[in-house]
Amino acid sequence: MRKIIANSTPLIALYKIGKLGLLKQLYKEVIIPYAVYEEVFLNSRHDDTTDFVKESGFIKIMNIRNEEAKELFELLDIRTGSLLV
């Protein structure tokens, strides 16, 4: 099975329809940058306060180590979470 790096859109959409487990069925590991985690859970405005990312058990949150990439994203003034994917 393959690994993927996901952005916030499929995580939120699949969670809302109760199908987040599809990602687990299709991929060995789902990786999201910490900025995506912030966008999905910490900064989201959804009413559900469940941290489904951490509770999933198969989504791995990683930090970006490339400082040059971080600076470029800030320079472009685009939502970092989406760009990191």
List the domain boundaries for the chain. Answer: 2-83
For residues 54-75, one letter each, b for 16 or more C-beta atoms within 10 angstroms of the residue's C-beta and e for the rest, the string is eebeebebeeeeeeeeeeebee
What is the phi/psi pair of residue 48, to 5°?
A: -75, 125
User: Which helix H or strand E contains 28, and what residues bound it?
Assistant: strand 27-33
pLDDT at 71 over 80: no
Compute, in degrees rounded to 10, the torsion defined by CA atoms 52, 31, 85, 68.
120
Ranking 3-12, 59-68, 71-80 by mean pLDDT, the lowest is 71-80
Query: pLDDT (tens digit, 9 = 90+) per residue, 1-21?
Result: 788 888 888 888 898 899 999
Residues in the chain: 85
Query: How high is the pLDDT of residue 54?
Result: 82
Query: pLDDT (tens digit, 9 = 90+) per residue, 36-55?
Result: 888 877 766 655 657 888 88
